[in-house]
Amino acid sequence: MRGAVIVGSPRRSTIVYGYCFPSYPGRVKIGYSRRGLNRVIEQSTAFPERPRVLFVIHDARAKAIEAAFHQALAHRQSDVMGTEWFDVGWLDLMRASPILRKAVGARSSVRAVKWLMTLVLLVVGLVLAPPLMAAATRMAEGADAARLFDGVGAYLGALIEGDGKRLSDLAGAMLDYALSGRVHWAWTLPGLAPVPLLCWLPWRRWRRTSF
């Protein structure tokens, strides 16, 4: 199911599905089931490899949707046993189904937003890295809490005020301090930890979605 386009509520058991096999990705079976993907599982036991599910449409009109697929792709029907196999690619499937076009378009929009959020959070992480690395270095040297947060406070003040030059100067000084060799380089790593963590957040699956 990895990468499959899922449309509609999984609670609805009437579906139209499309799957292929890894050894022959250009040949797609498009079928209908009243029992969800149990039908696909039953069919796949007769084959030497697991099918790759391309899409599942949960809809009360599943039978009619399947018929519309078959009619639109009749000219691409495979020369194999049965009438549900078609020699098609994703573009053919989307041309045949407005439901898939809408779902794939929505998923593309969501992905674009996630990449934008990743870029923004990457910048945030890189901006926060210098004071955090400097603070980690000071902590390793045994500095007290007041000294630990003096520089961080000045840095955040420049950031809030939008003073780019002061912010740049402070960031350079903090990086020089953190990488000066005063402590082992491993102590500076916690300051970089927010960068990958923030970049990961947009891709975290907080809840199951339709896509």
| Residues 151 and 91 both lie in one domain | no
Task: Please tell me whether residues 80 and 13 are part of one structural domain.
Answer: yes
Q: Indicate the SS3 state at residue 29.
A: strand
Q: Assign 148 a pLDDT band (cuts: 50, 70, 90).
A: low
Residue with tokens 């980690």: 136
Q: Quick: pLDDT tens for 92-110.
A: 998 899 899 888 776 777 7
> In this model, does residue 7 exceed pLDDT 80?
yes
Residues 128 and 66 in one domain: no
Whole-number average pLDDT of the chain: 84
Does residue 44 share a domain with residue 126? no
- Cα–Cα dist 44/19, whole Å: 10
Domain count, the chain: 2
Q: Which one of 70, 96, 122 terminates a domain? A: 96
**Within this chain, do residues 116 and 173 fall inside the same structural domain, yes or no?**
yes
| 101 falls within a domain | no
Is the same domain home to 88 and 146? no
pLDDT at site 207: 45
Q: Which amino acid is at 163?
A: D
Is residue 210, in this structure, part of any structural domain at all? no
* Torsional sign, CA 53, 59, 62, 65: negative
Residue 208 is assigned to a structural domain of this protein: no
Domain extent for 123: 109-203
Residues 77 and 148 in one domain: no
Q: Is residue 146 part of a domain?
A: yes
